[in-house]
A and B are shown apart, each in its own frame.
Chain A
Amino acid sequence: MKTLAWCSLAVLLVAALAGGAALTPAPAGAQAKPVVWNLPHVAAPTYYHTINLNAFAAKVKEKSGGRMEIRVHPASSLYPGPELIPAVVAGRAEIAPVLSAYLSDLMLEMGVLELPFMTSNLDEHRKAAEQMRPFFTEAMAKKGLKLLTIHTWPTQQMFSNVPLRTLADWKGRKLRVYGAESADLVRALGGAPVSIPFGEVYVALQRGTVDGAMTSATNAEPMKFFEVSRYINYWFLTGGSLEWLGANQKAWDALPKDLQQVVLDSLKEVRFEDKEWEDAKAWEERARNRFPDLKVTIIDPPREEIDKARQASRAAYDAWLKRTGPEGKRAMDLALKALGRQ
């Protein structure tokens, strides 16, 4: 009896280790495995980036007749935000967004339009980004990436528990930042930067660890910031926050020519790029309209105060130019030209 029990256990163990494969017959007429690309992202499953990426993935599957599958992994479920760029550069992810918010080391010069007050709205941001497309294509190619699309996150604003109407109101305020550039900006405007991961911003605002948090106004409802923040201050710290959809060049080259075309055609057919820019704008407008219902007071600082802030933020430009060297200088010249300031 004891021997029988041991034998049964051994059989079960072997079956479990084999993943049950030995016990399952192979399907008759099995098709060739589809090409699978993984696409990690930080956005929530209900955010417009994820919705549009899912539409793109569905189109690729449809147009390739199931030969290619793009698996979208939202909400940092595959890689945390700062690891997205290294993952696609190293080929661990075949396709991924390059977020300007995470350009802390690789391709830093691509974040020129996200310098504080460089642009003041999404239209201006898009116009400049379009003109800089050759520069972005080249910068990504140097890191082994193929640029597919340029799109955006909404403008960057400031949630707070105190109104920030003037530049003087920033003085000494503890404000959440998410990177070296945003820290330089807050410092330049007189505030005290506090680095807090996105997921902890709610609690930091609730407990008063920070007086305010820099992020997009569209996060008010998904992240429930309206529950812990009394003001939304429309300083337009950046007129957008670019995201470049890039494919690892080696993964791209390994793709059959017809599937490469399927990827490009699918992006066009779902109007991916246009849809992203339209959604950024629509979501931003919707968020602004919702604030009165959410009992969040909208603060629109006077034009002259924003101009003062723009002047004060020059120190952040200098720090950025020092870090990025000649490529940064080139990017700055191109950006100023694209914006008609040179």
Chain B
Amino acid sequence: MQPPPRPSGLEALVVRTSKGASLLAGLATLAITALITFDVLMRYFLGEPQLFVDELASFLQVVVIFWGLAYTFRVGGHVRVDLVTAHLPRPLRAWLRVFTLALGIALLLVMSWVTWLSVQEVWWQERVSVVMLYPIWLPMLLIPTGLLLMALAMLAVLLRQIRTALGPGAARDEVTGPGPAG
């Protein structure tokens, strides 16, 4: 059995960045748990609620959701409905996947652009959080960056999918799994 090929180019970039981002998302989950536990203990036993926890935990939640997107996509963790596609001929399924990936990337690019505009708006308005007055452009910036990373991950799969769809007849099918050394 041959070892999986080493990723190169865009695929390698996506592997590295999505893994790094997901690691941070995992650490953010841990941090949220620790912060909330600290707040509850301080409030319950010492009567000293920690005002910063609520807002900081909300910001970290953005990291968890948006920076975990690309890695979750690479390992096939997002919800997919294959009720219809499972019954399609394999070559048709391969081209349908090309179409849906392209559509998904387009949608993500639009979302990235719109959320980037929101980041610019809060930056110009110098907006801060309601209680602790933290600048909110920073957590908001995590949203378009996470979406762009997801779009990159989808682009890498799209390129692989096109190669497969145009490749030898027997191999024409949906590409699944994390890809090279993913």
Contacts and interface: CB of A to CB of B under 8 A. Distances in A.
B3 interface: no
Given A105-B125, A105-B128, A180 B133 contact: yes
Contacts of A172: 47
Interface string A94-109: 0000000010111000
A200 B47 CA distance: 19
B51 A195 contact: yes
A183 B125 contact: no
A90 interface: yes
A105 B132 contact: no
A141 to B, nearest CB: 16
Contacts of A195: 51, 54-55, 130-131
Interface string B87-109: 00000000000000000000000
B126 A105 contact: yes
Nearest to B125: A106
B125 A89 contact: yes
Interface string B37-48: 000000100011
B47 A192 contact: yes
A73 B129 CA distance: 24
Contacts, number: 51
B163 interface: no
A106 B128 CA distance: 9
B16 interface: no
A194 B47 CA distance: 10
B116 to A, nearest CB: 14
A252 interface: no
Nearest to B43: A174
A172 B55 CA distance: 22
Contact of B49 (A86, A174, A180): A174
Contact of A90 (B51, B121, B131): B121
A130 B51 CA distance: 35
Contact of B51 (A86, A194, A209): A194
B78 interface: no
Contacts of A192: 43, 47-49
Interface in B116-141: 121-122, 125-133
Contact of B130 (A104, A174, A323): A104
A179 B131 contact: yes
A327 to B, nearest CB: 14
A4 B132 CA distance: 63
A248 B130 CA distance: 23
B125 A178 contact: no
A192 B47 CA distance: 7
A194 B128 contact: no
Nearest to A182: B131
B127 A183 contact: no
A90 B125 CA distance: 10
Given A89-B125, A105-B126, A177 B131 contact: yes
Interface in B140-171: none
B43 A180 contact: no
Interface string A191-202: 011111000000
Interface-central residue, A82, A102, A104, A178, by most chain B CB under 10 Å: A104
Contact of B127 (A106, A177, A178): A106
A193 B51 CA distance: 7
A102 B128 CA distance: 11
Contacts of B47: 172, 174, 192
A339 B161 CA distance: 72
B131 A180 contact: yes
Contacts of B48: 192
Nearest to B122: A86
18 contacts: A86-B127, A89-B125, A102-B130, A104-B127, A104-B129, A105-B126, A105-B127, A105-B128, A106-B125, A106-B127, A172-B47, A192-B43, A192-B48, A193-B51, A195-B54, A195-B130, A196-B54, A323-B133
Given A194-B51, A195-B130, 11 more contacts: A86-B122, A86-B125, A86-B127, A104-B128, A174-B43, A178-B130, A192-B47, A193-B51, A194-B43, A195-B51, A195-B55
Interface of A: 82, 86, 89-90, 102, 104-106, 172, 174, 177-180, 183, 192-196, 209, 323
